[in-house]
Amino acid sequence: MFRLIAFLISLLIAAPSFAQDKPRLTIFAAASLTEALSDVGKAYADAGHDAPVFSFAASSALARQIENGAPAALFVSADEEWMDYLAARTLIEPNSRVSVLGNSLVLVVPKGDTLGVAIGPGFDLAGALKGRKLSLADPTGVPAGRYAQAALTSLGVWKSVEPLVVRADNVRAALTFVERKEAAAGIVYATDAALTDKVDVAGTFPAASHPPISYPLAVIARNDSAEARAFRDFLLSEPAKAIYRKYGFAVR
């Protein structure tokens, strides 16, 4: 009897540590969503749920990490292509995929500077840069860079500015180059430009000059759970949408 009582007491003592050891929901999301999703996570916790853990980076890097077994429960990409990449490998739950947000693409310069050009077909961006650098996310894989290259190509100026391009790991890094005046201009999302007082927006790229900027989300198949589904639903809720709008995202 004494041993049984001792065993039961040991279980009661250990129970809190078991709760503390419960894995937290991990969300992989595009760098441009850092502030918005961090606020959504706080709102979710304030509603009585366990706070999720976020990993923010370029969608390309996150998708490859998921492919290699990273323990993400949900993925929020900055374009459809990287979600398609995971879907083609049966790594997401198809019935959980939905595209909820949009954005726009802007040309930024250091605060107080000006390029003196208007964005349009054949605009002389290379001439305005005068040999100085143009920063953008790496277009070989990062969505923001892909959108930027597509816009410059459709406007007929990519070949002239390509030698001046500084390729950043993600859109936030591209913005930092301009903030530090290490680049004379950069191409980023409008929501990123709105977060800093160290840059000015020199112009907005026409929506028709690049593929629609779309942010799909989906549950990762191997980590599908009630908790993952609950947070997915919260990401689509009206409180979450209010947060997205606050940061300037277009909500679908």
Give me the residue spans of the domains in the chain: 2-102+214-251, 105-209
Residue 241: alpha-carbon gap to chain centroid: 16
Residues 153-166 have pLDDT tens digits of 999 999 999 999 99
Nearest to 87 by CA among 249, 250, 174, 216: 216
pTM to 2 decimal places: 0.89
Q: Residue for token digits 């441009």?
A: 32
Q: Average pLDDT of the chain? A: 93
Q: Give me 51's structure tokens.
A: 């706070």
Question: In the chain, which residue ranges form alpha helices assigned H by DSSP?
Answer: 2-20, 34-46, 59-67, 80-88, 125-129, 143-154, 158-161, 171-179, 190-193, 226-235, 238-246
Question: Same CATH fold, 105-209 and 2-102+214-251?
Answer: yes
| pLDDT bracket for residue 2 (50, 70, 90) | very low
Candidates 3.40.640.10, 3.30.572.10, 3.40.190.10, 3.30.450.20; CATH matching 2-102+214-251: 3.40.190.10
Give the whole-number percent of the chain exceeding pLDDT 70.
91
Residue of 21 and 159 predicted with greater confidence: 159
Evaluate if residue 13 carries a pLDDT over 80: no
Residue 177 binned pLDDT confidence (cut-offs 50, 70, 90): very high
Of the pLDDT bands very low, low, confident and very high (cuts 50, 70, 90), residue 24 is: confident
Task: Indicate if the pLDDT at residue 15 is higher than 70.
Answer: no
What sign does the dihedral 201-32-237-41 (CA atoms) show? negative
In 3D, which of 52, 98, 63, 69 has the Cα closest to residue 230?
52
Q: Residue 6 above 60 pLDDT?
A: no
Alpha carbon 80 to its chain centroid, in Å, reads: 12
**HSE-up (13 A, CA, CB side) for residue 45:** 12
Q: Is the pLDDT of residue 184 over 80?
A: yes
Confidence of residue 171 (pLDDT cuts 50, 70, 90): very high
Q: Is residue 127 scored above 90 in pLDDT?
A: yes
CATH number of 105-209: 3.40.190.10
CA nearest to 234, candidates 70, 73, 8: 73
Residue 21 has pLDDT above 90, yes or no: no
**Do the bridges between strand 134-137 and strand 165-168 make them parallel or antiparallel, or are there none, so unpaired?**
parallel
User: Does the pLDDT at position 213 exceed 50?
Assistant: yes
**Across the chain, how many H-helices and E-strands are there?**
11, 11
Q: Is 80 exceeded by the pLDDT of residue 10?
A: no
Confidence of residue 71 (pLDDT cuts 50, 70, 90): very high
Average pLDDT over residues 2-30: 59
**Environment class of 140 (CB within 10 Å of its CB; exposed 0-12, middle 13-18, buried 19+):** exposed
Whether residue 212 contacts residue 93, with contact meaning beta carbons closer than 8 Å, is answered with no
Higher-scoring residue by pLDDT: 15, 73:
73
Q: Is residue 103's pLDDT more than 90?
A: yes
- pLDDT on residue 35: 98
Q: Are 27 and 37 in contact (CB under 8 A)?
A: yes
Taking 80 as the threshold, does the pLDDT of residue 12 lie above it? Answer: no
Structure-block tokens of residue 121: 């077909």
